[in-house]
């Protein structure tokens, strides 16, 4: 496997039909840092993308040894002991049964497991009207909220932004999102992830004591309206068993793209 630092556009013909093409678009456009490895720079058949805690194995070949080579490369170059401690967990995405079989076998030393996830998409043709709660203030996450307003739980929101965007300034310049405020405390937030020219993902969280009160539905609806104004199609990715998250997506008329499995590793 060879690292691909330039001409990332060559990947588009391979990944354009994959469910997570919106993530790869963001990487190719330079908005999401990631390492990309391919089997052949000139004639790419399979690829490995490492983006934070998320890993993607894609492409198909008849020679199964190619899969084994890519997995061994991943272990040797991306899962050093120090890197495992830094990551804590890894979510491995793949796009064929051939990959699943080889990943489970090749990574069995890490006691990996399969978990179910669901991916949703809102095509912006039917954005619902969601009534706000009079006790909740919805604000766009901007410079004032992040730097000039003493709000409770602000550190939690900033941690979320730093994890995805690297810095608050980068988020303010290139991202967008909304937060819900009650009694001077941020109780929920919805932020853009994996932004590209036409698509984005969604990161959403609610402080535990305010869950199941409809707040996430309210702020994600506000987020949707900004997507509509900017003509950016949003995706919602969730653990399949996370029923509250799935219900919020459904209340905002997201349509399921697919259910899929990931290989999940939690390092000791």
Domains of the chain by start residue, with CATH: 2-110 (3.40.630), 137-259 (3.40.630.30)
Long-range pairs for 96-99: beta carbons < 8 A, 24 or more residues apart: 96/60, 98/60, 98/64, 98/67, 99/57, 99/67
Output the pLDDT for position 254.
98
**Nearest partner of 54 among 36, 72, 70, 69, judged by Cα:** 36
* 113-143: burial string, b at 16+ Cβ within 10 Å, e else: eeeebbbbbbebeeeeebeeeeebebbebee
Output the pLDDT for position 73.
97
CB 97 within 8 A of CB 222: no
Output the pLDDT for position 224.
97
Residue stretches of the chain with pLDDT short of 70: none
Pairing of the two strands 233-239 and 199-206: parallel
Q: Quick count: other Cβ atoms within 10 Å of Cβ 83? A: 13
Tell me the whole-structure pTM to 2 decimals: 0.94
What is the CA angle 212-248-236, rounded to 5? 135
Output the pLDDT for position 149.
78
Q: What are phi and psi of 154, to 5 degrees?
A: -60, -35
Output the pLDDT for position 148.
80
* 93-102: burial string, b at 16+ Cβ within 10 Å, e else: bbbeebbbeb
CB 236 within 8 A of CB 221: no
Please spell the DSSP secondary structure of the chain, one letter per residue. -EE--S-GGGGHHHHTTSTTHHHHHHHHTTSS--EEEES-SSS--EEEEEETTEEEEEE--S-THHHHHHHHHHHHHH--HHHHHHHSEEEEEESSHHHHHHHHHHTGGGT-EEEEEEEEE--SSSPPP-PPPTT-EEEE--HHHHHS---BTHHHHHHHHHHHHSSHHHHHHH--EEEEEETTEEEEEEEEES--SSEEEEEEEE-GGGTTSSHHHHHHHHHHHHHHHHT-EEEEEEETT-HHHHHHHHHTT-EEEEEEEEEEEE--
Output the pLDDT for position 11.
82
Output the pLDDT for position 222.
96
């Amino acid at each position: 496997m060879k690292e691909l630092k330039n001409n990332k556009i060559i990947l588009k013909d391979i990944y354009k039909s994959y469910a997570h093409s919106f993530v790869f678009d963001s990487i190719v456009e330079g908005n999401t840092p990631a390492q990309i490895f391919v089997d052949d720079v000139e004639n790419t058949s399979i690829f490995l993308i490492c983006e934070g805690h998320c890993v993607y194995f894609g492409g198909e070949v008849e020679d199964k040894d190619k899969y084994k080579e890519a997995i061994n490369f991943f272990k040797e170059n991306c899962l050093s002991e120090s890197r495992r401690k830094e990551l804590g967990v890894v979510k491995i995405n793949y796009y064929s049964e051939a990959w699943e079989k080889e990943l489970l076998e090749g990574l069995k030393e890490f006691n990996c497991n399969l978990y179910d996830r669901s991916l949703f998409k809102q095509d912006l043709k039917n954005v619902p009207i969601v009534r706000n709660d009079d006790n909740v203030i919805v604000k766009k996450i901007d410079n004032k909220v992040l730097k000039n307003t003493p709000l409770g739980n602000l550190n939690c929101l900033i941690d979320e932004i730093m994890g995805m965007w690297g810095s608050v300034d980068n988020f303010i310049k290139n991202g967008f999102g909304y937060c819900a405020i009650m009694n001077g405390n941020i109780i929920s937030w919805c932020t853009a992830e994996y932004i590209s020219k036409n698509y984005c993902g969604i990161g959403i969280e609610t402080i535990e004591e305010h869950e199941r009160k409809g707040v996430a539905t309210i702020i994600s609806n506000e987020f949707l309206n900004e997507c509509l104004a900017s003509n950016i199609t949003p995706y919602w990715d969730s653990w399949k068993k996370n029923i509250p998250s799935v219900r919020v997506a459904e209340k905002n008329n997201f349509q399921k793209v697919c259910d899929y499995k990931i290989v999940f590793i939690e390092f000791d």
